[in-house]
Amino acid sequence: MKKILLLSLLTITILSSSLRADEGMWLPLFIERLNYADMQKLGLKLTPEEIYSVNHSSLKDAIVQFGGGCTGEIISDQGLLLTNHHCGLGQIQEHSSIEHDYLTNGFWAMNKDEELANPGLSVSFLVRMEDVTALIADSLFADSSETYRMKTIQRISSRLQKAAEEGNHYKVQVKPFFGGNEFYLFVYEVFTDVRLVGAPPWGIGKYGADTDNWMWPRHKGDFSLFRVYSGPDGKPADYSKDNIPLKPKHFLPVSTGGIKEGDFAMTIGFPGRTTRYMTSKGVEQLLNENLPAVIDVRTKKLDIYRASMDVSDDVRIKYASKQARTSNYWKYAIGQVKQLKQNKIIERKLALENDISEWIANDETRKQQYGKALDNIKEGYEILSVFNVANQYFMEAIYQGSEILAFAYRMNDLAKIARGNVKPDLIPRTKERLKSTIEKYFADYDLETDKKVFAAMMELYNANVPIGLQPDEFIRINKKYKGNYEKFADKLFDKSNLAHLETSLAMLDKPKSILKDPAFELMDAFFSQYIGRQASTNEGYSLIEVGDREFIDALRKMDPEKKYYPDANFTMRVSYGQVKDYYPCDAVHYDYYTTMDGVMEKEKPGDWEFDVPAKLKELYENKSYGSYATEDGEMMVNFITTNDITGGNSGSPVIDGEGNLVGLAFDGNWEAMSGDVSFEKELQRTICVDIRFVLFVIHKYAGAKHLIEEMTLVN
């Protein structure tokens, strides 16, 4: 009997270890200590030094944070960069016009002179990371106030940043981890001359659009190509015709050998935000308040955007990136609500909290140290709940709703000039910056579309925010217009100088005019009322912050043998897993890859989501896949892995056991939309573009063979 019990326990231990293997966004600094043995078992052939090294070329030197919100990778010795189409969509859209509709038709630079500059776009290479916990924690005391703690952390972090930046051109950040129990310093080299090289047409790069977003099976060529340039000395430099293609420390070889089920898969990237340590109270607020507001507001915005885009090519091009950004989180919110319930996340969180509470209660020292953690978190969320719905509708319907109000907020520096709050010698520079802001804003603006959004947002705000939490100016407007928000919109847009390019620019010569502008006055009223609540909400956030820090510390000490990873926070992480199918629900099986057959099965000619480009159909019909097809003659498009990723990982390379690029991560799957809050061991999958499909599109579809020749292909 003992032998059977021991065998059962051993089996459970091995099984739980294998289930945990794919979960985690790990700091590459600790791969050798925490993950290397597990990675080898799954098929990794590289050494830890070949993944992350400060002194030698390693994989980390080929990975960049792209534009602050995505990931990219260098795939040639000439600075060629690969990322997702949806990551480069803003730049593709900015270069597009009715005459040059790169969104619909794609763009390919046939030589370096044709590559397009992108002012404001940058990429950041991680130079090194360093654990500075001891340097900060030694100055913190358990009984100190949160204000003292925050100021101390800021003071020491600033000193560490300044020391790391001295005598070089690097940018440095210090970030908290595990709820503020640990701190790490990150050194980056930032390049600001990044040029567009290639982008597939909409019918490839955005195939499936909103309908397929977050879904598997998928059939999308979600990639775009850029090139990083440096100054002649190899260091970062702003755009110049004298700049040269970057000579990277490392670039990824590109595999044409393909993938099969069970293959090792590693991603390296910059995941944005997870809340895996969030308690049940936080999940309840997400479900009941935050996500419903997102869905409510964005559904209305998207309906208006789509109606305008469908009747005007000009609006379609101007609003392509805005619509995609709005839609992405809208569908994410819908999926997260569904899966937080379906996957019983609150129940799972409560079970964990009960275990921790019992562990704390069994020891007096632990009760002193952690006894108030969950109570503080509960009280914090109760304070937030008084204002949370109002704050959510402010953020979604006002701050991120109508463009004219967001634009009014961005013009606040002009109001500072009018009020005498800008030093005289800084006024010319401030005005020049505002001029650039105005011109860029109106380049992608449609007044009639925004007017409809404005009226809809005012109606939603009024319907969902209690009158006691509305600004007096908005209450006055409601009384005057008696709920006729179309009439109010007509009046405001007619009177506001911020509705037109010429009148907005003219305000730069008459700064005081901004103070009487109706759009600015309204936004000022909304924002002032929002800021007025911050003292109360900050109290709630402070209690949650303290409680979370103690809760996470208790969790890690309750099970010290377990390997813990910190929540994502836009710092470089490694995840590892395998190419693998899954069973989403009873009697349903999803294979691990899709092919061009699926692209054609979904085709809807003339439909903005599923219209297949004529040339791609021709290549399919003739099976003109070149050397990029499988041995069976199939053209694989997408595949799935068990890697752990989130937003910010978009564009992350999928790397095989030998360090070669086999794919490009671009999405998660619908059944695991609760994954940012709690990893779904059985269901969670990363959706990837097969690199062979990328090569096929570049070579056979676009005829840009010179880009293939620039890469190092391995089989």
Which of 193, 222, 446, 676 is flagged as catalytic?
Answer: 222
Fold of 20-122+192-275+567-714: Thrombin, subunit H (2.40.10)
Give the pairing of strands 573-578 and 264-269.
Answer: antiparallel
Which of 85, 86, 250, 699 is flagged as catalytic?
Answer: 86
Greatest distance between any 2 Cα atoms in the chain: 89
**CA dist., res. 371 & res. 140, Å (int):** 20
Q: What stretches in the chain show pLDDT beneath 50? A: 1-21
Which residues does residue 224 pair with via DSSP β-bridges, in sequence order?
83
Burial (CB count <10 Å: 0-12, 13-18, 19+), residue 715? exposed
For residues 601 and 620, the answer to whether their CB atoms sit within 8 Å is no
pLDDT tens digit sequence for 547-563? 999 999 999 999 999 99
C-alpha torsion angle, residues 629, 630, 635, 641 (rounded to 10): -130
**CA dist., res. 523 & res. 20, Å (int):** 48
3-state secondary structure of 308: helix
- Asked about 553 being catalytic, the answer comes back as no
What are the structural domain ranges in the chain? 20-122+192-275+567-714, 402-532
pLDDT tens digit sequence for 1-37? 333 333 333 333 333 334 344 899 999 999 999 999 9
**CA dist., res. 651 & res. 269, Å (int):** 8
- Asked about 85 being catalytic, the answer comes back as no
C-alpha torsion angle, residues 575, 669, 673, 36 (rounded to 10): -10
**CA dist., res. 619 & res. 444, Å (int):** 35
**CA dist., res. 663 & res. 260, Å (int):** 12
- Asked about 222 being catalytic, the answer comes back as yes
3-state secondary structure of 266: strand
- What is the number of other CB atoms lying within 10 angstroms of the CB of residue 154? 11
**CA dist., res. 69 & res. 122, Å (int):** 11
Supply angle C-alpha 130, 132, 136, rounded to 5. Answer: 165
3-state secondary structure of 173: strand
For residues 694 and 664, the answer to whether their CB atoms sit within 8 Å is yes
Candidates 700, 646, 704, 707; CA nearest to 678 is 646
The pLDDT value recorded for residue 262 is 97
The pLDDT value recorded for residue 9 is 32
Which of 124, 327, 402, 650 is flagged as catalytic?
Answer: 650
Using CA atoms, how far residue 221 sits from 491, 587, 611, 638, in Å, is 45, 29, 14, 8
3-state secondary structure of 140: coil
Candidates 288, 276, 221, 218; CA nearest to 83 is 221
**CA dist., res. 411 & res. 507, Å (int):** 10
The pLDDT value recorded for residue 436 is 96
For 119, what's the count of Cα atoms within 13 Å in the CB-facing half-sphere?
A: 5
Candidates 332, 245, 322; CA nearest to 286 is 332
Q: In this structure, what token pair is assigned to residue 190?
A: 């930032």
For residues 32 and 96, the answer to whether their CB atoms sit within 8 Å is no
Candidates 152, 181, 136, 131; CA nearest to 546 is 181
The pLDDT value recorded for residue 142 is 73
